[in-house]
Structure 1
Amino acid sequence: MTEPTSADGRTFRRETGRIVNEIAQGFRTLDAGVSWFSGLVPTLQEMVLQEVAGHAMQAHITAADGHAGVARSGVKPTANPSVMICMDPPRYGFAGLPSDEHVKAFRVLVSVFAVTDTRRRETNCKGACRHAWHNLTAATEQP
């Protein structure tokens, strides 16, 4: 698959959002997400990295979230994506990293998003959340 059309792009962004939120909420493993991500062509990987970075920004990540996410990601703290996300404020531009760092960037971004979004679900959205992506069910569970 090459660059999706605008209609395909919307579908692809929805799929990306669903997969990232399933990982963040424990319905899908990080390794399963990495397998999905690794199967994408480089241009789609770049789109996913931009999308996940956007999710992380919207969740208002902190440097502490960055450190906790890196620890969960399995990526060395000295790797470029780890350093970028732990800066205060975090640096973005993960899609601009060399393609051999895309999987590391995906692992870091999704792990940091999981930390941040979990905090937000437990505070800002506790009990009265109407965000569809915060109300996933076990029925969405994937390998």
Structure 2
Amino acid sequence: MEEIINKIAQDKLDFKIGLQQLLPYNFDELFVTLNNYIINSIPNKTDYNTEAYQNALATIPLKPTYTPIVILKTYPAKIAMSKLPLLPKRENIKTITALLWIFKITDTERRNTECKNGCGHFWHEIY
């Protein structure tokens, strides 16, 4: 699962193809992994609100009226992340799509800024 997520984030695997490969995984495990990845990829640990995070929210490839998207855009990141797993199961695919997209954007920003001269993150080296 981690390899697929990182390959998507690094444009080594098409987003839609990678998403389809992730969907069979357990939602709770996938959610926790993506949540942790997002939190770690955002440099501002005070409120997790960066330009990259806002750009990710604005460009999620889903209708902006879908419940997970509304939650992500309405609440601060930490609060939104606590609300998403409480949604009905029918929202799981939308939630995973949104989180995968957010990680793709925020990790790309991190790789292009703080990690561009080497960072020691093994996943930036092996995937």
1:27 aligns with 2:16: no
CA deviation string 1:89-125 (max 9, x = no partner): 2110333221111111111101111111111111111
Equivalent position of 1:86 in the other structure: 73
1:47 aligns with 2:29: yes
Q: Which sections of structure 2, spanning at least 5 residues, go unmatched?
A: 43-47
The residue correspondences of 1:1-143 to structure 2 (distance < 5 A) are: 16-40=1-25, 44-60=26-42, 61-62=48-49, 64-87=51-74, 89-90=76-77, 91-93=80-82, 94-137=84-127
> Higher Cα Rg: structure 1 or 2?
1
Counterpart of 2:63 in structure 1: which amino acid? K
Question: TM-score, with normalisation over the residues of structure 1?
Answer: 0.71
Q: Which sections of structure 1, spanning at least 5 residues, go unmatched?
A: 1-15, 138-143
% identical aligned pairs:
26
Shift in Å, 1:65: 3.4
In 2, the alpha carbon distance for the partners of 1:57 and 1:87 equals: 17
2:71 aligns to what SS in structure 1? Answer: helix
RMSD over equivalenced CA pairs, Å:
2.0
1:54 aligns to what SS in structure 2? Answer: helix
Question: TM-score, with normalisation over the residues of structure 2?
Answer: 0.79
Change (3 A) 1:64 1:100: farther
